[in-house]
Amino acid sequence: MSHQPELNKYKQEIADLYTRRSQTYDNSDWHLQIARRLVKYGRVSSGQQVLDIATGTGHVAIAAAEIVGSEGRVIGIDIATGMLDRARNKAQELSLKNTEFMLADAEALDFPVNSCDRIFCSSAFIWMSDLHTALTHWHKFLKPGGILGIHTFADTAFVGGVVTQKVVKKYGISFNMSKPTGTVKKCRSLLEQAGFKQIEIKIEQDGSYISLEKAKAMWAGSSHPAPGQYPPPLSALSTEQLGQAKAEFEVELEALQTEQGIWNDITTFYVFGRK
């Protein structure tokens, strides 16, 4: 697990994207807040063995490490070297001795079977190449009775993606974003099909008003990685079509503007299943 993972083009683009984002990723408290809730709802306790998938800058891993204590252990894995560097620095500053961060592909892990009390994936599950395969793969690593906890987002979440879906559908383009996990029913079905039991899903309404300028900056373009889709769906459009679609995207956003700004829904599902 310490070697350089072999990433396909889709995953390499994600790794590059998040390495670029690593220096500013912690500027917002939102990722930290929902990561801590995931750990809290996941009932982490002293002495447990925890695997944090797509650890990013270590929000979940560090929160879990502070609970499991010296008798427990936390491993955080990610494909973005920049994010891992940030996570390691934070753990070092906190003098955490029970935490390790590894460069690894979440869908090609080689952990011992029945070795983890908890497995978490915060804000990143939708980026997996195959959601069902990922869940069944992770299921093997849990001890009997162990819990998996993931974040997913409603299909109404992230106004940029929702409006993009609406616009590009007219061009025959399917832009998934949060659709595969966008309802409680879909989340429950995914975990059940992967063998999880006692499934619990907590729904938290979240979101904020953002400026029109910030909303327009959410345009994905033809080269930005798209969750679960490669090549990026908009790359199928011609330059002329892409320009027209972007113009339509901005018109749609302008129609949503209020005195407070544009509402950016981030309804979050905290999804848990037991082995």
Q: Which pLDDT belongs to residue 70?
A: 96
Joined tokens for residue 44: 């982490």
Q: From the CA atom positions of the chain, what is the Rg in Å?
A: 19
**Which residue type, as a one-letter code, is found at position 224?**
H
Q: What is the residue-wise DSSP string for 187-249?
A: HHHHHHHTT-EEEEEEEE--EEEE-HHHHHTT--TTTS-BTTBSS-GGGGS-HHHHHHHHHHH
Q: Which pLDDT belongs to residue 222?
A: 83
Who contacts 248 (Cβ-Cβ below 8 Å, separation ≥6)?
Answer: 167, 170
Q: Is the bond leading into 231 cis (omega within 30 degrees of zero)?
A: yes
Q: Which pLDDT belongs to residue 1?
A: 47
CB distance 272 to 37 below 8 Å: no
**Which residue type, as a one-letter code, is found at position 134?**
A
Q: Which pLDDT belongs to residue 27?
A: 94
Mean pLDDT in order along the chain per 10 residues (275 residues): 82 96 94 97 98 98 98 98 97 97 97 97 97 98 98 97 97 95 98 98 96 96 92 95 97 98 98 98
Closest C-alpha to 52, from 40, 43, 70, 39: 39
Q: Which pLDDT belongs to residue 221?
A: 86
**Which residue type, as a one-letter code, is found at position 84?**
L
Residue 259: Cβ-neighbour burial (10 angstroms; 0-12, 13-18, 19+)? exposed
Q: What's the count of helices (H) and strands (E) in the chain, helices before strands?
A: 9, 9
Integer Cα distance of 229 and 130 in angstroms:
10
C-alpha to C-alpha distances, 69 to 10, 12, 49, 112, 248, nearest whole angstrom: 37, 34, 10, 22, 53
**Which residue type, as a one-letter code, is found at position 103?**
L
Joined tokens for residue 216: 């327009």
Query: Which domains does the chain show, CATH number per domain?
Result: 9-157+179-209+265-274 (3.40.50.150)
SS (H, E, C) 49-101: EEEEECCCCCHHHHHHHHHHCCCCEEEEEECCHHHHHHHHHHHHHCCCCCEEE
Provide the 10 A C-beta neighbour count for residue 120. Answer: 32
